[in-house]
A and B are shown apart, each in its own frame.
Chain A
């Protein structure tokens, strides 16, 4: 066992700075928040809910102070005495048997301190994965995609580690490469996975009678849709630091959406008891679903144990493209039946997923695609078949919406074509079919607090006005178009309980800490959770510090994913805040020998027997007993779905939205510009409008990229554009600043202060809305993402669709 003398670098979890600097920044943050609260209160007037002291305010983020100073503690910024730097040898082949790995030259290379191969890892510790343990930490006998890690090397410098990697000789026997899902399913194709062959999952779901549904239809639309793989392109590449501290705790500081997952996994992989492993999330430079798999964690941990020195591994951008998960390439075949008056009678869906080389989140994405088929509409007769298969591509995994953006692309395009064919407006067709309170989803769940029609109401007058404004303007080679798309999306894991917990504690000096399991991955969730906890406890928001994403200090509350943090962890913070308030009031009452009901904690002070004392005074009064006060909140809604029949209540609540976009197509160049987007969301109560708008604006930008350019280009199992020069991301000139976020007036009875969430969902309607706007502009229907210039010119020439 390796016992290190290594100390975690001093300072706040999120900031690199001296104690004095941090105290100064904290004081600055207090002033900023107090000013904000005062200003917002003054502007609120009397017509608002005066009981809500913090919820709904534009409270600045509590981490932005470090970030604008360049002092945020991203994992790549952490340096420690004695640190070694790691790099990987990666597979040169998309599918091959490994015959021999020769590390002898690398072992004697300058600066090399440790080399790890699969041969050293016991069988029962080699395979890891977020859902199924099927992905080797390092490949042993076989590689399944080009870029798969085979050897990890640590050296005194990153350059030395890189140089040593080039000295490793791997002998391969190339195998047949499986490139397409159709090839994977064909008879006689080589089997990629020893257990399951080439099928990851094959899901069936039906409701009603599909044949009767089509018999009732007056019109049937049958179309194919296809989407290309895309990359998350979080700007911070995966990075982590591993070391054994002086208490013999293996500590991994890493950018992740789910530290507790790595915690359990590292305990198994290293054979250590869980209390001898600690995973601390560092500031995360974007994630979007792409930081929930093992990247640097296991190799850095095993190498720090092997060498006895701290190990840092930072991926290059090229590694991100070649070796981390992608959004699934997907093919969708859809038959949609409806009556003349626009009522949907039947929907038949066939989905095919390119799952890549390992399972990652393919099961989860598949399940969500099945449950969300036909959302957010009433579909009396539904049949879905969804197959995800292995190919020799980098694994496909979770990315913002878990596949629903593609399901929505097909469904919304179909619906808009239906409206056109029936001579209806896209608003009208959605009003006829859109889910309302009391409706059932395809899994039989009864819905409440559905804001879909409210979001349509918000968009309708804008749509009608823009239609009038644009009439007759679209001619020549620059053609304008309007497109509408809706969404319905379930919050949280699909059909599996996923509780969140929170703990609220106070110190004798009046500082309060909320311990929340779900980490802030860049969205500002720590600030939202502080707001909820403060509101419920009756104290000032700047008094609360949130500690999240630390496997030792917080409970496992699941990952920050599936748009679940505001709703799940927000509810936990709410319950914990209330519990804290109760206990605190009781403690003050006991000290004063006052009746319990005569003590109230509100607006950051305590009123006891009609006398007011500050929160600090109350803390001093309580004295040492303050350690016994621990507000605890657990939110664990009863959700379940039968994986065979898809019956049940898969999510505790759903969010809805309607987006309208205005675009212009240059018919000579085939290029498309987004000119304006109106995004009406039913997200429940908005906890922090600045944060919620930020989520919507960012989602629109990501949607524009997916709609127009983004595509991981693959050839024979190799990625041809593993860098930003050929993988085009939307820049400031490509994304309109004309994004209007509209929050419709809804209140979720089960959410914290009525909140549901935003996050992923703002992305979902954008590609569909843009495709519909293109159809409006050029009178041809796109069925492929991205709608890049090449595709558009084919479409305009009548051979693209």
Chain B
């Protein structure tokens, strides 16, 4: 059995016929070629697969395609504007917030949602926002500093 869904990814609609149990991370990576959204734990703990669903960060490994039908999905590939990095992406670059980079897209999406909702978060609000994203390389300090640097 398949169901027809429309996923609006980075502003572009994609009409797809999917298994009801297909996850959004699988569709992004395998069917739309958007491999910037990474997969790791597949149980909603690590945050590597974070995308924005109607502007809110969610684990796309736990999000079934029918749940996202007709809704807006944003991924790391949609952060640039006219080929230019967003200020947050730029800050990750210059603050050394990127090491192996596998967690980076997830952090960028989580922090993007935070800054859109709350352009001037305090340090503890930043920490609270990113607590669901794991990073094994950086110790988080430079990620937090990067987010802080683009606040208001």
Interface residues of A (CB under 8 A from B): 16, 24, 28, 32, 36, 58, 60-61, 63-72, 74, 76-77, 79, 232-237, 283-288, 316-317, 521-524, 690-691, 693-694, 696-702, 723-725, 729, 731-733, 735, 737, 739
Contact = CB atoms under 8 A, between A and B. Distances in A.
Given A64-B101, A694-B142, A731-B140, 15 more contacts: A58-B96, A64-B92, A66-B101, A68-B98, A68-B108, A235-B134, A236-B38, A283-B101, A523-B99, A694-B99, A699-B139, A724-B43, A733-B127, A735-B141, A737-B127
B8 interface: no
Contacts of B104: 67-68, 70
B93 interface: yes
A732 B29 CA distance: 27
A724 B49 CA distance: 14
A74 B35 CA distance: 9
B41 interface: yes
Contact of A69 (B85, B103, B123): B85
Contact of B131 (A28, A286, A732): A732
Interface in B46-103: 46, 48, 75-77, 79-80, 83, 85, 89, 92-96, 98-103
Contacts of B100: 234-236, 283-287, 521-522
B136 A691 contact: no
B42 A71 contact: no
A717 B140 CA distance: 34
A72 B98 CA distance: 12
12 contacts: A60-B93, A65-B93, A68-B89, A69-B85, A70-B75, A286-B99, A694-B99, A694-B139, A698-B99, A700-B139, A723-B41, A724-B43
Contact of A522 (B89, B101, B128, B143): B101
B48 A697 contact: no
Given A284-B100, A724-B41, A732-B127, A24 B136 contact: no
Contacts of A317: 40-42
Given A32-B93, A237-B40, A64 B98 contact: yes
Contacts of A237: 40
A64 B134 CA distance: 18
Contacts of A690: 95-96, 142
Contact of A739 (B92, B105, B132, B139): B139
Interface in B97-121: 98-105, 108
B45 A725 contact: yes
A737 B95 CA distance: 14
A69 B102 contact: no
Given A236-B38, A697-B138, A729-B136, A72 B101 contact: yes
Contacts of B140: 697, 701, 731-732, 735, 737
A253 B137 CA distance: 23
Most buried by A among B123, B131, B134: B134
A707 to B, nearest CB: 14
A735 B143 CA distance: 12
A-side binding surface: helix, strand, loop or mixed? loop
A731 B99 contact: no
Nearest to A741: B141
A693 B95 CA distance: 11
Contacts of A70: 34-37, 75-77, 104-105
B40 A235 contact: yes
B136 A233 contact: yes
Contact of B96 (A28, A65, A694): A694
Contacts, number: 178
B130 interface: yes
A286 B135 CA distance: 10
A211 to B, nearest CB: 45
A67 B101 contact: yes
B123 A737 contact: yes
Nearest to A702: B136
A25 to B, nearest CB: 9
Contacts of B41: 317, 723-724
B96 A69 contact: no
Nearest to B45: A724
B93 A64 contact: yes
A64 B79 CA distance: 15
Contacts of B102: 74, 234-236, 285-286, 522
Contacts of B131: 731-733
Contacts of A702: 136, 139
B48 A235 contact: yes
B132 A731 contact: yes
Contacts of B139: 694, 696-702, 735, 739
Contacts of B40: 235-237, 317
Contacts of A698: 99, 136-139
Contacts of A66: 101
A235 B135 CA distance: 7
A724 B98 contact: no
A697 B75 contact: no
A712 B140 CA distance: 23
Nearest to A58: B96
A97 B131 CA distance: 45
A701 B138 CA distance: 8
Nearest to B33: A79
A522 B137 contact: yes
A150 B146 CA distance: 46
8 closest cross-chain pairs (CB), A and B: A70-B36, A522-B100, A285-B102, A67-B101, A697-B139, A70-B76, A701-B139, A77-B35
A72 B131 CA distance: 24
Contacts of B92: 64, 68
A697 B34 CA distance: 31
Contacts of B108: 68
Contacts of A696: 139
B28 to A, nearest CB: 10
A739 B138 CA distance: 12
Contacts of A67: 98, 101, 104
A449 B99 CA distance: 30
B101 A63 contact: yes
